[in-house]
Every structure is written in C-alpha cells, then in structure tokens.
Amino acid sequence: MKDRSIRVVIFDWLEEYFGKMRIFEESPIGNSRCDFFVVTDKLTGFEIKSDADSYERLNKQIKDYDAYFDQNYIVVGNQHRKSVVKKVPNHWGILCVRDEEEGFLVDVIRRAIQNPKVKRDKQMRKLWHNELTSIANKLGTPVYMGKGKTTRIKGIIKNSKDSDLQQAICEELFERDYTNYDGEEE
C-alpha cells in the first residue's frame, strides 16, 4: 500500500476511534516532518511507513515524535507488520493497514501508552503568539507581551500545572482559526 491510500483508510478509522478530533498533516517537528497528528484531549503523532518505505530515518523520527507528542503511533502496510514491533519503543502504538477482499482493514497491533519523553515546550512551539496569549490568560499566568516566543513559553510553563497546560494546548490547537494567523510555528 502507498502512503496516500494508507492516509485515506486511517483517517476514516480514526474518526470512528476518536470521534471528535482535529488532524494536522505534514507538520515540522524538530528535524523531521510528522506525517500527521491528531488533537483530542492529547496530541497523538502518526508516522506512516508504507510497503515501499524503509526504516532508514525512523530512529531520528522517533526522537522527534517523542519530544512533541503525548502518544505516538506508527502506521504500516502489511509488508512491515512483523518487523515493525522491533523498530519502535514499547510506548508507541502500532497500526497495520491491509487490503483484503472485503476492503481495507486496520489492525491494532499495539495501543500507544503515555509517552514518557514528551516536552511541553516543544508542543508549545506549535502555537502562534495569539494562542500563547490565550493560554496565559486561561491559566492566569503572566502574558509576557513583547517578549520572544521562547521566553513566553518558559514563563507559562514555569507558572502552570502540567495537566492544565496539556489541556490548554489541546484546546488552542483544536479551535485554531486560520483567519487569525499571527506568526510562524517553531
């Protein structure tokens, strides 16, 4: 299966699995590009390895995904089904998309668990300045207007509970309005 075919199948499956969600495709994360991530009450990253793909860049991608997402999944075609288990950390989930006579099927080989390496500051780099301001206001932290993004992020993190911050990040990304774009991510 090719990447595009896998995306179509997995997006339909995710709609059933997660229900209300928002998908962001082809997002830069560190030195990698995330195939897509899903926003619900957490950020979940998805790396696709189609039957035509190799694992050549996977170790670097795992490091970047682990910095940005609360959970991670690798989505593979049937050719990678057996080998993939040895290629990703135990906290990563594994999904396999296969083509059968009755249509495409998604097998859950392993469910993702909480990523122990996630960094809130990396997640917050995905936010725009107006979204950082909104989070600061919601959480009652200083806004740090006129400061650079790094300073603003450090200040908000220092003055917030992690669970409140995770919820606020997800809310901002879920409700993102592209008519209010005010700056670059990262």
pLDDT at 186 over 60: no
For 10, phi then psi, to 5°, come to -70, -35
Residue 183 in any domain: the answer is no
pLDDT for the residue 182: 62
Q: Which pair of structure tokens corresponds to residue 136?
A: 């600061």
CA 181/CA 174 separation, integer angstroms: 14
**Nearby residues of 99 by Cβ (< 8 Å), 6 or more positions away:** 1, 78
Mark whether 17 and 98 lie in a shared domain: yes
What value does the mean pLDDT of the chain take?
Answer: 92
CA 86/CA 83 separation, integer angstroms: 6
Q: Decide which of 86, 110, 134 is a domain's last residue.
A: 110
**Lowest mean pLDDT across 33-42, 66-75, 76-85, 108-117:** 76-85
Mark whether 40 and 93 lie in a shared domain: yes
Confidence of residue 100 (pLDDT cuts 50, 70, 90): confident
CA 111/CA 3 separation, integer angstroms: 21
pLDDT at 123 over 80: yes
User: Which domain CATH number covers 93?
Assistant: 3.40.1350.60
Residue 7 in any domain: the answer is yes
Mark whether 87 and 105 lie in a shared domain: yes
Mark whether 29 and 72 lie in a shared domain: yes
Q: By C-alpha distance, which of 26, 21, 22, 19 is closest to 4?
A: 26
Mark whether 8 and 98 lie in a shared domain: yes
pLDDT at 57 over 90: yes
> Which residue range forms the structural domain that includes residue 87?
3-110
Mark whether 104 and 20 lie in a shared domain: yes
Mark whether 103 and 130 lie in a shared domain: no
pLDDT for the residue 184: 61
Mark whether 12 and 97 lie in a shared domain: yes
The better pLDDT of the pair 177, 126 is held by 126
Beta bridge mates, 98: 105
pLDDT for the residue 180: 74
Model confidence over 20-37: pLDDT tens digits?
Answer: 999 999 999 999 999 999
Would the pTM count as exceeding 0.95? Answer: no
The better pLDDT of the pair 153, 81 is held by 153
pLDDT at 1 over 60: yes
CA 159/CA 154 separation, integer angstroms: 9
**Nearby residues of 56 by Cβ (< 8 Å), 6 or more positions away:** none
Residue 110, helix vs strand vs coil: strand
Beta strands 22-29; 32-39: pairing state:
antiparallel
Mark whether 97 and 61 lie in a shared domain: yes
Residue 156 in any domain: the answer is yes
Residue 77 in any domain: the answer is yes
Mark whether 105 and 148 lie in a shared domain: no
- Fill in the DSSP letter of residue 182: -
